[in-house]
Each structure stands twice: as structure tokens, then as C-alpha cells.
Amino acid sequence: MYKKFATSSFIRSVIMVVSGTAGAQVLTMLFAPIITRFYGAEAFGLLGTFTAVLAILVPIAALAYPIAIVLPKNDDYARAIAKLSIYISMLVSTIILVSIILFSNDIADLLNIQTIENYLILVPFALFFAAAEQVMQQWLIRKKQFKIMARVAVSQSLILNSSKVGIGYFSPLGFVLVILATLGNALYAFQLWIGSYKTTAPNDRITYKKIDFKRVKEVALIYRDFPLYRAPQQFINALSQSLPILMLASFFGPASAGFYTLAKTVMAIPSTLVGKAVGDVFYPRITEAAHNNENLYQLIKKATFALAALGFLPFMSVILFGPWLFGFVFGEEWVLAGEYARWLSVWIYFMFMNPPSNKAIPILEIQGFYLFFTFFTIFLRLIALLVGYFVFKSDVISVMLFSITGAVINIAIITIVLWKSHKFNIGRYLND
């Protein structure tokens, strides 16, 4: 049993991705107590508001086409999708840049984000870099080059965090964090490209020279369900997850947004460390399983329950001791962030379990349903925040209600995907 576990290519790939992500997160946590003592809650609020706006726009940067890079059997079709993604992201970023140049004041007033009005001009650049990063990540996932991804994750974390400390020692201002966040996306994409170019064979590189426009148009039509369903779904989901920062900043001030930003960043570490790693490896694995007529239900169920067991103790620890832990590690100023983290743990624990279900959605061909479901859930999350503000007039209760709603939503997604995968297996069996 142990030998089979140790020699599993899936497990080895997960360990490879986790090792790089773990190194990156360890570096982030080592630097965090220094960074939080340089930059105050308001500086983190400025960064959080900027990244919240960026996160909302990222799903439409390339219309979710990068996610499809893993799916084609033929590499030329995958390269065509990558080329299409870059073209779309250039167009979208240019449109947003022109809009911000002409209407930055109106946009800031409409979204009530006057605190970052001067930095909105950076959004289209960060957006394009984020799209390029997505393209490179999905290509490396397709080629199962997890070692490159692991190495770049560590390098990126070291460079970015040391820059925050070095510059923050002399100028601990919010705009420093915003500029570094923008440059960080560019650096990440560039490092992934360099790593791929140096360590892979020419046939495994993501080049566009031989990809004609006819093939780009062909893949745009073949995988049109991604812009039609997945991009809107991701946009709505990003909007719903960015709502707390934007509304906390609007209702309770930038410091509350800063507390939430730190709490969410810390609590997302397990999801980034293990959940995303499992998801990245699981996506090509379940694609292969579907091609080979394997039992998708069992594959999704085992991965989900393994994540549930793995995440129970870390998240329970924060639920019990969050405020004390944050005060001790990050400084007394951040105790309230620990209270936020206590409630966020309830939501993020189930989100931590969700990657296998999330990655199975394109395979099960339920992206249309997932779009509708996500659209419905944004109203639930919005209501939770509004009740916390208007009824209880409490930032903590707002975060609590938002988190409980998020937990219920993730439980529903996992349940639906397991049910659909079971029906998928039965239908395939009957057809055979």
C-alpha cells in the first residue's frame, strides 16, 4: 500500500507542487511579521482594495480561454489557445486603459474606491501580466512541468517579500505595496517563461510562430463555452469574494479592509499550499481519466475527503485561537484581523476542499449550470454583508455572515459535482 502511494505519479506531482508552494508560503510567513510592523492596516487596506478590483477583472482578461490549454490532445491546438488568450488580454487591457484615462474619476466614484483613484492606471498593466501568468501556468500544467512552477513560486516569494521589507524600511506606504503587486505579476509570468524555455525541449515550449489565424479562430469556436460560461462565472465569483474588501472599506474605512486583507491572505495559505496544488495536478489527471473512461466519481470523492482530513486541524486551530495568534505573530495592532480570520476559517476550510470539484466542472460539461449557480450566490453574499452593516452595524458580524454563507455555497458545489459525476459514470456505462 505504501509503495503504491509513494510511486503514484499523481502523488509525486502534488508533492512537487506543494514543495514549491510551501517554500513560497514559508518565506511569506517569515517576512509577514516584519512587513506588518512596517506597513499599517490602512496601507494593507489600500493594497487590498487594489487587488480586489484587479481580481474582479482578471477572469475577463482572456475570457477564461487559458483554462482550456490543458484540454486538447494536440499541442498545436493548445498553442493556438495560448495565442488567442494573449490577443484577447491585450485588447481587454487596452480598452480598460483608455477607459481609465478618460473616466478615472467617474469610475472611482461609481465603485466608491476613491482611495485608489491615483493607482487605477496600473490596473490594465497588472491585468495583462496576470493573463500572461495564467497562460504560462496552464501550459506548464499541461506539460506536467511542476518542478518549474515550484522553483518559480519560491523565487517570486523571495523577491517580492524582500522588496516589501527593503522599501518599507524607508517608505512604508500603501502605494509601495500596490506597485510591487503590479510588478509581481509581470515578474511571475517572465520567470515561468524563462523556466519553460531553458528546461524543456523545443517541441514542449509555448511558441506561436507556426500558429495561423485560421487555427486560432477554430479553437475559439471549439472552446467557446469558456468565454460564454466560465469567464462570467469566474467574474461573478471574483466579484463576490472581493465584495467584503470593497464594502468594508466603504462602510467601516480602509483599516477594516486592511484587517480583512491580512486575515484573508493568511487563511488562504493552506488553500494555496495544498488545495491549489492538488487542483493543478488534478485537472490534467481527471482530463486523462475522462479520456480513459475511469470512474470520475471515486476520483473526485477521494481527493475531496483527503483534503477535508488534511485541513481540519489547521483551520480548527485558527477558529479557536485566531485573535491571540494574530496578535502574537503580527503585532497587537492586528488582533482584530485574527477575529476576522476566526470566521473566515469556516468558509475557507470548505473552499480548501473544493479544488477537485471545481476542476471537474469543464469535464462534466456543467459550466452553464455553474454560471447560473454562481450568479445566484453573489446575491446571498451581498445580503450577508448588508445585514451585517445595516442591521448589526458590525464589521465582525458582516465577516461572520459572509463566511458562513461562503461555507454553505462550497458545500453545495461539492455535493452537486459529486452527484453529477455519479450520473456521468452511470450514463457512460449505459452507453457502453
For 300-329, the pLDDT digits (tens) are 999 899 889 988 999 999 999 999 999 999
For residues 368-372, average pLDDT: 84
For 219-259, the pLDDT digits (tens) are 999 999 999 988 998 898 888 889 899 999 888 988 999 99
* Cell 477554430 -> residue: 218
C-beta of residue 186 within 8 angstroms of C-beta of residue 51: no
List all residues 6 or more positions away from 253 whose beta carbon is below 8 Å from its beta carbon: 45
- Our CA dihedral for 121, 85, 420, 1, rounded to 10 degrees, sits at -100
DSSP state of 109: H
For residues 395-405, average pLDDT: 95
**pLDDT above 80 for 12:** no
Q: What is the pTM of this model?
A: 0.80
Dist CA 54 CA 48 (whole Å): 10
Give whole-number Cα distances, 275 to 68, 193, 234, 268, 413, in Å. 20, 24, 18, 10, 15
For 27-37, the pLDDT digits (tens) are 988 999 999 99
Predicted local confidence at residue 430, as pLDDT: 44
CA 193, 198, 200, 202 torsion-angle sign = positive
C-beta of residue 339 within 8 angstroms of C-beta of residue 323: yes
For residues 179-196, average pLDDT: 92
Q: What percent of the chain has pLDDT over 90?
A: 56
What is the phi/psi pair of residue 268, to 5°?
Answer: -80, -10
Nearest Cα neighbor of 400 from 324, 330, 322 is 322
Predicted local confidence at residue 5, as pLDDT: 42
Give the mean pLDDT of the chain: 87
- Our CA dihedral for 303, 304, 305, 307, rounded to 10 degrees, sits at 90
Q: How many CB atoms lie within 10 A of CB 357?
A: 24
Nearest Cα neighbor of 168 from 54, 52, 48, 31 is 31
For 53-75, the pLDDT digits (tens) are 999 999 999 999 999 999 898 88
For residues 398-426, average pLDDT: 90
- For residue 429, the Cα-to-chain-centroid distance in whole angstroms is 35
Q: How is residue 268 written as a grid cell? A: 488562504
Predicted local confidence at residue 276, as pLDDT: 67
For 200-225, the pLDDT digits (tens) are 667 777 765 666 788 899 999 999 99
